Amino acid sequence: MPQPSITIIGAGISGLTAGRVLLKRGIRATIYDKHPPPPSHRNAYGITLYRWAYQHLLPLLEVDEFTFHDKLSTDISRPIHSKTTATQEQASVRAQRARLEYLLREDLDIRWNHKLENIKPTPTGISLIFATPDTTHTTTDILIAADGVHSTVRTALLPNSIPHILPFAVINGKHQVPSSTFGSVFRPAFENAGSSIIETRPSGASNIHLQIALNEIHDDGTASLSWTYSRPAYTDKTDPLHRADRSPDAAREIPEAFFEELGQLRLSGNVEPAFADVFATEKARQDRLLHWLMRSVRVPPASELRRWGEQGILMVGDAVHAQPILGGEAANAGIVDGVEVGEWVGESREELADFYNEERLKRWENGVEGSEKKLDEMHGMWRSTL
């Protein structure tokens, strides 16, 4: 029996992991992604990976745990090298996403600059049309949709399953730090707390949540940081920092009200040195800023997922159970999804729809609900890790 053709939409962590699992079994899938080939700086930010997820990548990448850590970690303290933590499922490593995706991409067949425009299951396969200069048309037997929270596949096949925008105002910034400042101000904080330092400040009935994460220490000693400023959205008046209906192109439009809030925060006193440096108003103006929306996608009804599974279409990761950026563990869930869907498809099961079993769907639902709850808790309890 000939091997069915397999197409993966999305060259993110979930899609790449699925591709690697299949490749490990001697099965080549074709991966399509709407973005151009990634430069070294794209996705050059840190993500927290838990051992319960990243342990699945070790045999795929043919590395042991310590080599994995050395290749990817941005941690200063590197706690995973402790024998006591390395065996715990909740042990974690702060990894640079760009490096992880680079390792996962090796030897995979990825077609960049292919934006999916149309999908149509037919008796002879799944018809796909991509927006390219010459318009690319292909047909596949099995389709794995790993195309993220704005999934074209989910939108086309499950139009009632739409992202839910959670009521939080979030601004993210990328901050470059000279070596002298990093050594005197940030290194002590990161050595004490790990590669992510957090502080919350009371604000009325809730809290403002401040977080600084280490992305990379460069060879010259300078450092790249990522930070977030978040709080619950106003409910009694218009909130200029929470624009739920903004277009994706408007993410870089930062209202002046944000800098006014930073000014009030700076004047409140008792700000730790690391936070005083990053959240100083004039320095923040020089950073690369983005207005983030906290989105989640609830798991669609099992009957609808199984209906498309019976026609050879499986959806995974943020495409079908997205978690908010803050409070979520989407990268970890994406790794597990990629491994599981790759193994399921790779074993040539006749009933692809059985991938959507009760245990898996319940786990997905718990992940989304848990991430939303954690986001709430982040803004309702005063706590500092410094």
Asked if residue 22 and residue 107 are part of one domain, the reply reads: yes
pLDDT, the chain, mean = 90
Is the domain of 139 the same as that of 172? no
Domain-located, residue 1: no
Q: End of a domain among 293, 319, 354? A: 293
92 and 193 assigned to the same domain: no
Q: Which domain holds residue 212?
A: 167-293
Find out whether 341 and 309 touch, Cβ atoms under 8 Å.
no
pLDDT single digits (tens) 45-82: 889 999 999 999 999 999 999 999 999 988 775 544 34
The DSSP bridge pattern shows strands 313-315 and 142-145 to be: parallel
Q: Which amino acid, residue 259?
A: F
Please tell me the distance from the alpha carbon of residue 313 to that of residue 320, in angstroms, as a whole number. Answer: 12
Number of domains in the chain: 2
Statement to judge: residues 135 and 229 lie in one domain? no
What pTM, to 2 d.p., does this model score?
0.92
**In the structure, what pLDDT confidence band is assigned to residue 84 with cuts at 50, 70 and 90?**
very low
Shared domain check, 99 and 149? yes
d(C-alpha 286, C-alpha 275), whole Å: 16
Residue entry with tokens 């993966």: 8
Does residue 143 form part of some domain? yes
Which of 272, 293, 314 represents a domain boundary (last residue)? 293
Is residue 128 located within the same domain as residue 176? no
Least confident residue range of 65-79, 85-99, 218-232, 346-360: 85-99
The strand order across the sheet containing 142-145 reads: 109-111, 30-32, 6-9, 142-145, 313-315
Collect all residues with Cβ–Cβ distance below 8 Å to 218 and sequence separation of at least 6: 224
Last residue of one domain, picked from the residues 266, 293, 320: 293
Q: Is residue 222 part of a domain?
A: yes
34 occurs within a structural domain:
yes
